[in-house]
Structure 1
Amino acid sequence: MSRFDFLHNRHAGERVVLVANGPSLNRMDLRFLARETTIGLNKIFLGFKRFGFYPRYFVAVNDKVIEQSSRQIMALNCVKFISKHNGHLVPENALTYHLETGNPPARFSHDLEKGVHEGWTVTYVALQIAWYLGFAEVVIIGMDHRFEYTGAPNAANRLEGPDLNHFSPDYFGGGQSWDNPDLAHSEQSYSLARVEYENSNRRIIDATLDGACTVFEKADYRKLFELSK
């Protein structure tokens, strides 16, 4: 029996909030996340104290994110999914799972043990993980889907000054290196994810505040989570 078997459909029929890293998080009241099952992405730990929540699950597959944050990632007290090719930086343990991302079995994987497709965005990886865990509804917040950058998509870049593309100015700021986003390929991935979810009678809802992505069903997070204005 694989370690992944213990995770399969663990949350069948439940809702999860996928917390991306856009600056819109700074304009939201995120205290409601303490009552929700959450999946945090990449450097979300930079906002734990300010946002007042701690994720049940964590996902990071980007080489630069893991290289820059291996110590913080290893210290996280939650279930973590890390790309296998970065396993030397964040070794497997009771809470850490390595994902094969180099040769996925399908464009949208239904089996984490066989690997996942990176889909040009960690959000897509998280959607495959959420599907495997059995969640019937995934609510995405913080996926602003707009970036300021120079150069071509996927090109390596260095960000001088504060990071305006993420919720923290220190995210990639101060001269750290990062990879330019590829929004076109990301949208292709998201479209595939929507089809896969709807084919299994599940939903992906984009509740990002003023998010620019148009692939998923939209909702106001305040109404969705029954928050007072």
Structure 2
Amino acid sequence: MLKLAYVTAADAEIADTWLQRNLSEGGKPVLLAEAADLGFLEALAQRFGLQHFVLPGAPHWPEALSLRPLLARINDRGAEAAFLCAPVPFGMVFRSNEIVPSWVEHFGAVRVLHELGVRNFEFVAGDATHRAQIPYLVDNLIDRHKGQRAFIVGNGPSLRQTDMSLLKDEITFGSNRCFLGYEDWGYAFKYWGISDRLQIEMYQEEYEQGIDRDSIKFFPFEYLNFLRVTNACPIPVVSDLRFGSPTSLRFPYFAETPSTVFNAFTVTITLIQIAAMMGCNPIVLVGVDHSYPIARAKRRGQGEAAAINLTPLVPPEDLVRQSKLGWDFWEGNAATGATHFTNAYSSNKVFVPPRTAWAETAFEYCRLWGERYGVQIVNATIGTHLTSLRRVDFNSLWR
């Protein structure tokens, strides 16, 4: 198997140590670096007598043509890539004092190598090595369902009145704890996604055990070494707010390339963008009730605040002054009515309060984007409170 080594000038010591060890064991890796580190790459290649290539900024840049000799060798022998660079420490939002390594800043290089056929990656930082298999990136899924209908299924209580058997043979996207309905519905969704950091961090094991093995799973790339699932498709997610920035809100946006996917207060928005890149048309929402009977929310260090949908009422400038989202939350057991399709979904769980008013703005932008590019994005949720998307009758879709 061909060994590839991605190096950066900023982490020359890591590269030097790894290469000396690898060469002493009989290895002869191919060196890779980005254009900004070309001088360092050439010097390192000359010193160790190794072949080297410069990586383009994205898989489909014209410069990628220079990698054709490498592509032939990967197709013939297979390959694994070692990233010889220190990660940026990623402090988890909802797990106190826990830090995990994140290589998000090198996601562009991962994309290029993945396009060449690399699926096994090693991320090396000093004595620590983190191994990950990346079966999918969104790049591999572009136009996979071009012109086909897809359903993005929310987890609202309206699913109790929805004939879910009709979706069995459809292209389906689910999220979060949708797997709690699989046994009753008799099938699993083809795709699954999560973007809520509280859910990922607090309920990691539940998701790892509960998600259907065969579905393709979308989640933020920085959790690659944390959320261990099969058929992973890590995505670079840009959040709604840039904390500490004088510009409070950075949405709405709509991702059109796999380099970035935007998260706008609900994973449904993220999945709409992915479905659009996969060529799905129309994109139909089901179970997106967009209404939460929450009587109160708790604020860290400040007890309870008696307000319905507390967070949407908070001025954006107040959110910016906070270092992290999640400084207020609601407990599932305290809801005054059904919030999801099964009571087991929220029982003994805590959540970041929904931001329905701001999410509505993002849904409106999805509609405008769809109208501009000829992609129908409609809402077939029974009794939905979402007003920005055109509503269609669920049962009429099979007539």
TM-score after normalising by structure 2: 0.52
The reply to whether residue 201 of structure 1 matches residue 201 of structure 2 is no
d(CA) in 2 for partners of 1:56, 1:179: 26
In the TM superposition, what whole-angstrom CA distance separates every residue of 1:113-158 from its partner, at most 9, and x where no partner exists? x221110011100101011111120111100111011232263222
Per the alignment, residue 232 of structure 2 pairs with: 96
Q: Helix, strand or coil: the match of 2:152?
A: strand
Task: State the percentage of identical aligned residues.
Answer: 25
Q: Helix, strand or coil: the match of 2:193?
A: strand
Q: Helix, strand or coil: the match of 2:234?
A: strand
The reply to whether residue 31 of structure 1 matches residue 201 of structure 2 is no
**Deviation of the 1:92 alpha carbon:** 6.9
The reply to whether residue 82 of structure 1 matches residue 256 of structure 2 is no
* Matching residue within 97, 119, 125 for 2:270: 125
* Matching residue within 238, 252, 257 for 1:111: 257
**Deviation of the 1:74 alpha carbon:** 5.6
**Deviation of the 1:103 alpha carbon:** 6.4
d(CA) in 1 for partners of 2:395, 2:238: 38
d(CA) in 2 for partners of 1:90, 1:225: 37
**Deviation of the 1:73 alpha carbon:** 5.3
The reply to whether residue 172 of structure 1 matches residue 353 of structure 2 is no
**Letter paired with 2:286:** I
d(CA) in 1 for partners of 2:387, 2:274: 22
Q: Helix, strand or coil: the match of 2:192?
A: strand
**Deviation of the 1:202 alpha carbon:** 1.0
Q: Helix, strand or coil: the match of 1:82?
A: strand
Greater C-alpha radius of gyration: 2
d(CA) in 1 for partners of 2:143, 2:393: 28
The reply to whether residue 64 of structure 1 matches residue 64 of structure 2 is no
**Deviation of the 1:198 alpha carbon:** 1.3
Return closer, same or farther for 1:107/1:160 CA change in 2, 3 Å cut-off. Answer: same
The reply to whether residue 12 of structure 1 matches residue 142 of structure 2 is no
Moved more, 95-104 or 209-218: 95-104
TM-score after normalising by structure 1: 0.89
Per the alignment, residue 188 of structure 1 pairs with: 361
In the TM superposition, what whole-angstrom CA distance separates every residue of 1:15-38 from its partner, at most 9, and x where no partner exists? 101111000001111111112111
Q: Helix, strand or coil: the match of 2:269?
A: helix
d(CA) in 1 for partners of 2:329, 2:146: 39
Higher RCO (CA 8 Å, separation ≥ 6 residues): 1
Q: Helix, strand or coil: the match of 2:225?
A: coil
Unaligned runs of 5+ in 2: 1-58, 60-110, 112-136, 241-249, 298-309, 312-325
In the TM superposition, what whole-angstrom CA distance separates every residue of 1:62-121 from its partner, at most 9, and x where no partner exists? 12322313323565311110112333332476x111111246998211122x22111001
**Letter paired with 1:144:** D
d(CA) in 2 for partners of 1:120, 1:103: 8
Q: Is the 8 A contact 2:138 2:235 kept in 1?
A: no
Q: Is the 8 A contact 1:11 1:135 kept in 2?
A: yes
Q: Helix, strand or coil: the match of 1:184?
A: helix
**Deviation of the 1:195 alpha carbon:** 1.1
Q: Helix, strand or coil: the match of 1:35?
A: coil
**Letter paired with 2:218:** F
Per the alignment, residue 51 of structure 1 pairs with: 185
Return closer, same or farther for 1:92/1:34 CA change in 2, 3 Å cut-off. Answer: closer
Q: Is the 8 A contact 1:59 1:126 kept in 2?
A: yes
Per the alignment, residue 224 of structure 1 pairs with: 397
How many correspondences in the alignment? 223
**Deviation of the 1:159 alpha carbon:** 2.5
d(CA) in 2 for partners of 1:72, 1:142: 24
d(CA) in 2 for partners of 1:23, 1:82: 24
Unaligned runs of 5+ in 1: none
Moved more, 102-111 or 204-213: 102-111
